[in-house]
Structure 1
Amino acid sequence: MGIVVNQSIKNTFITFVGFAIGAMNTLFMYTHFLGEDYYGLTAFLLSSANIMMPLMAFGIQNTLVRFYAEHQTEEEKSRFLNLMLVLPLLLVVPIFIGLALFYNETAELLSQENPIIFDYVWMIPVIGLFMGYFEIFYAWVKVHLKSVFGNFVKEVLLRIFISIFLLAVHLNWLTSIQFVYSLVFIYFAMMLVMAFVAFKVRKPEFHLQFPKDKKEVLLYSAFIIFSSGIAVLLLDIDKFMIGQYIPIKEAAYYSVAIFIALTISVPMRAMHQITHPITTDLMARKKHEELNQLYKKTAITLQVVGGFIMLGILTNIHQVYALLPEKYSGGISVVFLISFSKFFDLMLGNNNSIIFNSKYYRTVLLLGLCLVVVTVGLNMVFIPSFGIEGAAIATLISIGLYSIAKLMFVVFKMKLFPFTRKTIISLLLIALTFVVFYFWNFPFHPIMNILLKSVLLAVWYWFLNYRLAISEDINAVVKKGLKFNTPR
């Protein structure tokens, strides 16, 4: 467990660094350098490619992790890895043949509302292919317990490349059109870097024979395509559908708002790196009471930390948008709606880790499929009527229903419950803090306003959280910090 926790902590740090670079790209470089139409086109293409990625990867990124350890000899492992590299071609080749034969029809269908999309449709499966094989090579190093560099490439290096190309646009070394085309090169380069690292960890040895368990591997991969596809669709379908119903520039406004709101999810991604192996271990050893305590602790800790981030965003949102081009200001309501949906998901702690390590994961995946249908339907209804606010409403309803369904499974099927009396106290404190600070602004530059209000909010919020002892884990960290800084 030591190496897992150690790499999880390093990956958490890398995730935060990558998010900071992403914030610079999204809130400043994209909005000021690229222009709203091409930013919207970029968001559409990458979201569409991400939707295709599970098909292009054939679920191999999960299959490799699941079955690798079951192969004992070096020859069996080599045969298995060979199969992992070849299997995606079962879908990749037909998809590309179909696109080549019916490109005009496909491009016309996707570009009915926004003709600018027509010439770039070919990029969607190409980038999706590079994303898919990147994940396969990343899984290749994960099974050898060397995940840190792969996470660095995915979270940091990719964003640095995008920053460099956006800066090139600003310096007139590239046009906006050339930047869009450069996305193919960027994702191809990331795939090559990850392949180089993977093959350095273990060089492939090509055999003509495949492993004996290939039927089981195929079935599991098909199941993972299904489950991964649901997760990606729930995450990116809104940005794809915006391009089908309203002007593509609206996707740019939506992307900025979504990025701001998704900041709330960073603590959950970070904590998942650490709690997932612990959750898996407790469930394997059937430690029900310890698992229930971990569930409660993760839920209240994420609620407190996520609540602070949400308050920082919502109480400063008008000042944040004052730093952006005025056209982007329509996304403020989207930030509120998505923030509420993500915060509710955050309140459920390590819910996902519990479910997907239980015998009920197939049922929840079927529920997820139903939810995808509901999400698409809600977007079809709300986007034409309310624009990007409609997409946010659809997302709020969808994530809310999905989160409630997962919570019910854990509560009624597994007899685990995440909430305590402290949950209500924390919610009341968050509501009170919002009322106190939302309407309180200073007559300064937006950056100074944000800094001053954030400092006051932090002192107020964390002092009350500590005094009320809402989260034992947070209080323990604070006490340890105070003890460390006390002069001896």
Structure 2
Amino acid sequence: MGIVVNQSIKNTIITYIGFAIGAANTLFMYPHFLGDKFYGLTSYLLSSANVIFPLMAFGVHNTLVKFFSEHKSEQEQVSFLSFVLLLPMLAIVPIFILGFCFYDAIAAFSATKNDIVYDYIWQIPIIGICMAYFEIFYAWVKVHLQSVYGNFLKEVGLRILISIFLFGVYFNVISVEQFITATMIAYLISMLLMFGYANNVKKIVFSFKIPRNAKAIFTYSAFIILSGSVANMLIDIDKTMLNQYLEIEKIAYYSVAGFMATVIAVPSRAMHQITYPITAKLMTQGKHEELNDLYKKTSITLQIVGGLVFVGILVNLNQVYLLLPGNYKEGVFVVFVLGFSKYFDLILGNNNAIIFNSKYYRAVLFLGLLLGFFAITLNAIFIPLYYIKGAAIATLISITLYSIAKLLFVVLRMKLFPFTVNTIHAFVIGLVCFFLFYFWDFSFHPIVNIGLKSVLVSLVYVGLVYKANLSPEINTVIEKQLKRVIR
């Protein structure tokens, strides 16, 4: 776990720095600089791009990780990389042809409720391509166990660019309309920077020799398209569908709440950058016991760290909304509901990495398609009834069912189990800290209140976790930090 802990800590720090910048953007600059309408438009475009990007990537960012270790020689790796870099064109070319031929019809349908959407639909596939190839080049460096720079670009660099463009709006250097296009350019820049770094880590050379296992690569990629599309659909289909039923301003309110809930998943995102290739390697080598041990360690580690973040957000929630325009208060319920769905997903550890690298991935992907259809149906039912609360409820049900299905598949088919008695202990500690701190606030400015409460919650939570010795790895990190403080 040495390299896992080392790079996971670095990635976690980087990701939280990125989320701090993102918080400034989401909670202050977007609402105040862009206004509700253009903030809602930005959220809609990015969410829609995120829904289609797995299709445009053709699943090869996961394929690259799974099959890389099977190619030993330099020439085999060159042929393999060239093949997977060209595969996405099988999806990208038809999408752009259809988009060009039927743009007016697609744009008119998307703008049924909100006319402002019509002129910007063309940006969705371009952002999707940038997301796709960013992840492919990022996968190339991850298989060489170099995940930190890519994580920095994704979590910090991109958000800094967005911040610069937001300040451009504030100082009247660019208009709010130009900001939308500038956001697309920011994704293009981050993709090009990722390509440059990937080429530096291991030179990208093209070869027209088809790899020996091309059929297996193609088949796996095709199925992973379905999986990635389902996973991203469950994450972002709510915001995409809100555009069809509600005023676009509602997407802004939902996005702020969704951002706060997403912060809970940061530890998972950081750890998975390095555990994914390690999981693939253990499964290729057939090391079942080591894999089961890694499964349990990632589960309890993510539960503890994510639980602290979840409790910290909830106990400070009312103070955070005092910093926002009044209409955004509609999102309080959404934070609770989406937050719980993220927390449940956290405690499954590296569950996704295990499934995607197993021989059973096909069955689970078909199950995912069924649940993807279920998510669309639930959103179509609940959004007209309960508005943004309905979208949150639909997302909670969909993600929870999908997570339970994947968990049961790993437990029953692969005889791997992520939970221990410490899973219950960690959950109880989170509940105790929530009820201790949620129902009172200091009588200071909201920012001061948030700071003070966060420190108190962290001290109590971390102290209880350390005393209970829920995770030797986390206790070791705590002891090292205490020694540094004492020095």
Provide TM-score, normalisation by structure 1.
Answer: 0.91
TM-fit CA distance, 1:131: 1.9
What aligned pairs does 1:165-204 form with structure 2 within 5 A after superposition?
165-201=165-201
Q: What residue is the counterpart of 2:347 in the other structure? A: 347
Q: What residue is the counterpart of 2:271 in the other structure? A: 271
Q: What residue is the counterpart of 1:324 in the other structure? A: 324
How has the CA–CA distance of structure 1 residues 171 and 356 changed in structure 2, closer, same or farther, with 3 Å as cutoff?
same
Q: Distance in 2 between matches of 1:268 and 1:123?
A: 29
TM-fit CA distance, 1:54: 1.8
Q: Distance in 2 between matches of 1:258 and 1:192?
A: 28
SS in 1 for 2:270: helix
Q: What residue is the counterpart of 2:309 in the other structure? A: 309
| 2:83 aligned partner, one-letter code | L
- Note the alpha carbon deviations across 1:379-429, whole angstroms, 9 max, x for none: 000111111111100111111112222222233333333333333333333
Whether 2:228 is the aligned partner of 1:228: answer yes
SS in 2 for 1:359: coil
Q: What residue is the counterpart of 2:98 in the other structure? A: 98
Larger radius of gyration: 1
SS in 2 for 1:475: helix
Comparing 337-346 and 184-193, the one that deviates more: 184-193
TM-fit CA distance, 1:300: 2.9
Q: Distance in 2 between matches of 1:205 and 1:315?
A: 52
Comparing 183-192 and 243-252, the one that deviates more: 183-192
Is the CA contact 1:21–1:156 (under 8 Å) kept in the aligned structure 2?
yes
Q: Distance in 2 between matches of 1:304 and 1:8?
A: 14
Q: Distance in 1 between matches of 2:301 and 2:85?
A: 40
TM-fit CA distance, 1:116: 0.9
SS in 2 for 1:327: helix
TM-fit CA distance, 1:84: 3.4
SS in 2 for 1:443: coil
TM-fit CA distance, 1:8: 4.7
Q: Distance in 1 between matches of 2:85 and 2:279?
A: 31
How has the CA–CA distance of structure 1 residues 412 and 204 changed in structure 2, closer, same or farther, with 3 Å as cutoff?
closer
Q: Distance in 1 between matches of 2:3 and 2:347?
A: 28
TM-fit CA distance, 1:283: 4.3
Q: Distance in 1 between matches of 2:174 and 2:78?
A: 43
Is the CA contact 1:114–1:243 (under 8 Å) kept in the aligned structure 2?
yes
How has the CA–CA distance of structure 1 residues 143 and 114 changed in structure 2, closer, same or farther, with 3 Å as cutoff?
same
Q: What residue is the counterpart of 1:155 in the other structure? A: 155
How has the CA–CA distance of structure 1 residues 436 and 173 changed in structure 2, closer, same or farther, with 3 Å as cutoff?
same
Aligned residues: 487
Q: What residue is the counterpart of 2:119 in the other structure? A: 119
What aligned pairs does 1:449-488 form with structure 2 within 5 A after superposition?
449-482=449-482
Q: What residue is the counterpart of 1:402 in the other structure? A: 402
TM-fit CA distance, 1:287: 4.7
- Note the alpha carbon deviations across 1:237-286, whole angstroms, 9 max, x for none: 11111111111111111111011011111122223345445544554555
Q: What residue ranges of structure 2 are gaps of 5+ in the alignment? A: none
Q: Distance in 2 between matches of 1:475 and 1:213?
A: 44
TM-fit CA distance, 1:289: 4.5
Is the CA contact 1:5–1:274 (under 8 Å) kept in the aligned structure 2?
no
Q: What residue is the counterpart of 1:247 in the other structure? A: 247
What aligned pairs does 1:132-147 form with structure 2 within 5 A after superposition?
132-147=132-147
How has the CA–CA distance of structure 1 residues 58 and 389 changed in structure 2, closer, same or farther, with 3 Å as cutoff?
same
Is the CA contact 1:351–1:406 (under 8 Å) kept in the aligned structure 2?
yes
Q: Distance in 1 between matches of 2:292 and 2:139?
A: 30
TM-fit CA distance, 1:101: 1.4
SS in 2 for 1:314: helix
Is the CA contact 2:80–2:210 (under 8 Å) kept in the aligned structure 1?
yes
Q: What residue is the counterpart of 1:378 in the other structure? A: 378
How has the CA–CA distance of structure 1 residues 137 and 296 changed in structure 2, closer, same or farther, with 3 Å as cutoff?
closer
Q: What residue is the counterpart of 2:388 in the other structure? A: 388
Q: Distance in 2 between matches of 1:209 and 1:300?
A: 44
What aligned pairs does 1:409-448 form with structure 2 within 5 A after superposition?
409-448=409-448
SS in 1 for 2:416: coil
| 2:398 aligned partner, one-letter code | S
Q: Distance in 1 between matches of 2:11 and 2:325?
A: 34
- Note the alpha carbon deviations across 1:459-488, whole angstroms, 9 max, x for none: 33233333333444333433444456557x
Is the CA contact 1:9–1:273 (under 8 Å) kept in the aligned structure 2?
no
Q: What residue is the counterpart of 1:18 in the other structure? A: 18
Comparing 22-31 and 469-478, the one that deviates more: 469-478
Comparing 240-249 and 147-156, the one that deviates more: 147-156
Identical residues among aligned pairs (%): 58
| 1:328 aligned partner, one-letter code | Y
Q: What residue is the counterpart of 2:364 in the other structure? A: 364
TM-fit CA distance, 1:124: 0.9
Q: What residue is the counterpart of 1:64 in the other structure? A: 64
Comparing 219-228 and 199-208, the one that deviates more: 199-208
SS in 2 for 1:183: helix
Q: Distance in 1 between matches of 2:364 and 2:280?
A: 18
Comparing 189-198 and 153-162, the one that deviates more: 189-198
| 1:424 aligned partner, one-letter code | I
How has the CA–CA distance of structure 1 residues 133 and 433 changed in structure 2, closer, same or farther, with 3 Å as cutoff?
closer
Is the CA contact 2:66–2:280 (under 8 Å) kept in the aligned structure 1?
no
Q: Distance in 2 between matches of 1:485 and 1:232?
A: 41
How has the CA–CA distance of structure 1 residues 305 and 106 changed in structure 2, closer, same or farther, with 3 Å as cutoff?
same
Q: Distance in 1 between matches of 2:455 and 2:332?
A: 22
What is the CA RMSD across the aligned residues, in angstroms?
A: 2.6
Is the CA contact 1:9–1:274 (under 8 Å) kept in the aligned structure 2?
no
How has the CA–CA distance of structure 1 residues 15 and 167 changed in structure 2, closer, same or farther, with 3 Å as cutoff?
same
Is the CA contact 1:307–1:430 (under 8 Å) kept in the aligned structure 2?
yes
Is the CA contact 1:4–1:277 (under 8 Å) kept in the aligned structure 2?
no
TM-fit CA distance, 1:85: 3.6
Q: Distance in 1 between matches of 2:84 and 2:419?
A: 42
Q: Distance in 2 between matches of 1:243 and 1:425?
A: 41
- Note the alpha carbon deviations across 1:424-450, whole angstroms, 9 max, x for none: 333333223222211111221111111
| 1:189 aligned partner, one-letter code | I
How has the CA–CA distance of structure 1 residues 454 and 183 changed in structure 2, closer, same or farther, with 3 Å as cutoff?
closer
Q: What residue ranges of structure 1 are gaps of 5+ in the alignment? A: none
Q: Distance in 2 between matches of 1:428 and 1:71?
A: 46
SS in 2 for 1:416: coil
